[in-house]
Each structure stands twice: as C-alpha cells, then as structure tokens.
Amino acid sequence: MTRTPLVPDTARIGRTALVVADLEETTDFYRDVVGLAVQSRSETTATLGAGETPLLVLHRDEDAEPRRRDQAGLFHNAFRVPSRTALGAALDRIQDRWELDGASDHHVSEALYLTDPEGNGVEIYRDLPREQWPRADDGRIHLGTVPLDLADVAAASDGATRVPPETTVGHVHIEASSLEAARAFYVDTLGMRVQTDVRSALFLSAGDYHHHLGVNTWNGRSQPAGGRGLAWFELVVPDEETLATVRRQLEAADVSVGERAGCLEIAAPDGITLRIRSE
C-alpha cells in the first residue's frame, strides 16, 4: 500500500459522464426531475450542472448496446444538495414527474433514489452535520440504512425547480465484478480510505468524507462495463502542482496514464475510466 495517498485528502468528485441512446429524453429528465440546469447542448452532447458548475455530461450514441445484466458499471450517480429544503424540492419534482425507487436515512445523509430513462441509478441526498456521523474508535464512519420520513422531507420543500448552485456530485457508486480488484486499485494503489466495509461493498473516501466512491458486488456482475451507461467519472484535486505530483506518483506505481481534455485518464478495474484534473 502506498505510504502517501496518490489521491490527496483534498480531492473530490467532479463531473460524471454517461453514454445514452436518447439524448433529448435523458437531458429532460436530469433538467426537470433532478433539477440540473442545461449549460450547453449539441446534437451529440449535453452538459448539465448547478449554477456555473458542470456536473453531468451526456454523450449520445444510438449504436451503443444497452448494458447487459452481467456487466459492471454504474450503480448510481449521487447529487448532493446543500439542505433539507432542497431535498424536499427534489422529492416534489420526483413525485410530480417521475417515480421514487426508495428513500433512506444513512445516519450520515438522507437520500432519495430513482432511475433515469436509460436505466442508470440516481441518488439525490443531503448530508447530516458531520458531528452527527457515527464513528468507530479508529475514526472510520459507519453508514447505516433506516427508512426516511418522506412526510418530513416533503414539508421542508420550497418548491424549487432547480437545485441550488452549491449542489455537487457527492459520490459515485459503481458495480464491480471483484471487490478484491477494486480494493487493490482504489485503496492499495490510489490510497483512498476505507470508511465502511460491509457485506459485498466498500465505501471509500479521500480525506474524512463518509464516501466519495461506493463499490459493490450485490448483483453478481462478472463482465467489464461497456455500451451505454457510465463513460467516465472524475476526481478533482486542488491545483496543477498537485495534479503533476499525482501523475508522477501514478507513473512510479506503474499505472498507465493517458491524457484527455486536460485530465489524466486511467483505466480502472472492470472497464471503468477514471479521470483526474485540477480545479
């Protein structure tokens, strides 16, 4: 295991990207249901975000095959809103325009779950105050799951049609074929911190967050990702100097590093593409 994490404690999730067949329908979903703003759009690509910050890139590929049941890939993209008021507004939009798949209190956050028109999982959540996060003696954070009181969440809504500008992609959760391979890459090589290790799942962070990355094998995926679904996701580091250090450390660890659109690009396990860029 690396002595100094390649992914610094200050890293966070940036954008995520999806390959979709129907760009118009999927864009409308993330605008009208999730509440993101369309920042740019062409015949083949749409970028959506909060305020001036891009969070999601949609790439149209009508020839891409649907993700098979045995393929690894995205479990969900998780959009973190800054307040219960914003979470209540998200619940309003879901109940008015879509279908809620589930809702949970995870002791660190309150979360709503749904599925986009192309079968990609979506979470919209808000964090509870950090001082309330349950911790073990070694500092690890315990994530739990209990039912969320939807009436209380709905009562907090201000009826907003867009998420607040402070909204981010708080974490990405992927489905893997092997937890051992995922741990070897994200923990042993990149140096992410295990916050919660439960049956068939890992919840990993840069620094002291409850998790920036979830990895599970709950559905028995056995083949690499491909076709529609997650194209890539992004870790953001504070500055160019940090990015240059990350690159040197990756190369010293014999990790193949490419470059695309100003980002370092790395092949993660299961055909997942990870990008790293500076602020």
**8 Å CB contact between 188 and 202:** no
Average pLDDT over residues 27-40: 98
From residue 186, give the alpha-carbon distance in Å to each of 98, 201, 232, 244.
34, 13, 15, 19
pLDDT tier at 2, thresholds 50, 70, 90: very low
**198 pLDDT more than 90:** no
**8 Å CB contact between 157 and 89:** yes
pLDDT tier at 194, thresholds 50, 70, 90: very high
pLDDT at residue number 233:
98
**60 pLDDT more than 60:** yes
Cβ neighbors of 133 (< 8 A, separation 6 or more) are: 107, 108, 141, 210
Q: Is 151 buried (19+), middle (13-18) or exposed (0-12) by CB count in 10 A?
A: exposed
Element (H, E) at 154: helix 150-155
**162 pLDDT more than 60:** yes
Digit-coded pLDDT (tens) for 203-218: 999 999 999 999 999 9
The pTM of this model reads: 0.97
**8 Å CB contact between 125 and 112:** yes
CA atoms of 145 and 153, how far apart (whole Å): 16
**8 Å CB contact between 6 and 249:** yes
Element (H, E) at 241: helix 240-252
pLDDT tier at 3, thresholds 50, 70, 90: low
Digit-coded pLDDT (tens) for 114-130: 999 999 999 999 999 99
Cβ neighbors of 67 (< 8 A, separation 6 or more) are: 73, 119, 225, 226, 227, 228, 229
Digit-coded pLDDT (tens) for 243-263: 999 999 999 989 999 999 889
Average pLDDT over residues 41-70: 97
Digit-coded pLDDT (tens) for 213-240: 999 999 999 999 999 999 999 999 999 9
Could you confirm whether domain 12-278 is CATH 3.10.20.10?
A: no
pLDDT tier at 1, thresholds 50, 70, 90: very low
Q: Which token pair is 39?
A: 């920042």
